């Protein structure tokens, strides 16, 4: 299937009930429901982002120019510019921060392909919260294109330590983030 056909197919694709679908570098991925710990972390992060300046959306698809990807991060943060947004895609150029909370099924994607896709989309800040390793990884200063895209700066803090997110002008309190026991150790650092 050619690239435009994949994008058209994905735009019309209806995942089975209870699943979400993402397009990541020409591959459509389905994932099921999330753990309560996962959803609590997403809520805790969203609650700490001031809504007088920022808008937050859970599970909103992102459009990334030059990438055959339509990811659906756990949380999307962009400046509250009071416009009348509509549609199912937020342009990457509007996004300030994306959050992914690691699950055992998503660890390699969150630390790998999504990190590269988000860097290729010049997303200023990408936050990975890992309840299995009890740590937060903040990636900033994206550079490069395609599969070679990466973040220049990576700051890692354990749960319980504050995490400064300069792009939002906040310090994230991670003391309430809950952990999950790792059944199978994921392969990412």
CA–CA dist 116, 185 (Å, integer) = 22
Per-residue pLDDT tens over the stretch 92-139: 999 999 999 998 788 888 999 999 999 999 999 999 999 999 999 999
Distances from the Cα of 138 to the Cα of 82, 94, 114, angstroms = 27, 19, 13
Question: Over 60: is that where the pLDDT of 168 sits?
Answer: yes
pLDDT digits (tens, 9 = 90+) for 19-36: 776 666 667 667 776 788
pLDDT of residue 136: 97
Q: Does residue 103 or residue 84 have the better pLDDT? A: 103
Let me know: does 125 contact 141? Beta carbons within 8 Å.
no
Of all residues in the chain, the percent with pLDDT exceeding 90 is 58
Tell me the CATH number for domain 35-172.
Answer: 3.90.1570.10
pTM: 0.88
The Cα-based distances of 127 to 9, 15, 130, 140 in angstroms read: 29, 26, 10, 9
State the pLDDT at residue 4: 64
């Amino acid at each position: 299937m050619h690239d435009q056909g994949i994008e058209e197919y994905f735009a019309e694709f209806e995942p089975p009930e209870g699943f979400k679908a993402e397009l990541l570098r020409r591959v459509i991925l389905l994932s099921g429901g999330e753990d309560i710990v996962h959803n609590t972390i997403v809520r805790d992060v969203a609650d700490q982002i001031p809504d007088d300046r920022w808008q937050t959306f859970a599970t909103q698809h992102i459009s990334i120019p030059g990438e055959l990807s339509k990811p659906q991060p756990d949380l999307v943060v962009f400046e509250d510019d009071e416009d009348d947004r509509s549609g199912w895609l937020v342009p990457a150029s509007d996004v300030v921060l994306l959050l992914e909370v690691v699950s055992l099924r998503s660890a390699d994607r969150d630390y790998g392909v999504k990190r590269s896709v988000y860097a290729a989309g010049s997303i200023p800040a990408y936050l990975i919260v890992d309840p299995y390793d009890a740590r937060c990884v903040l990636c900033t200063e994206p550079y490069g294109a395609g599969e070679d895209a990466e973040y220049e700066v990576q700051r890692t803090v354990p749960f319980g330590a504050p995490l400064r997110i300069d792009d939002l002008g906040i310090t994230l309190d991670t003391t309430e983030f809950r952990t999950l026991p790792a059944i199978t150790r994921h392969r990412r650092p």
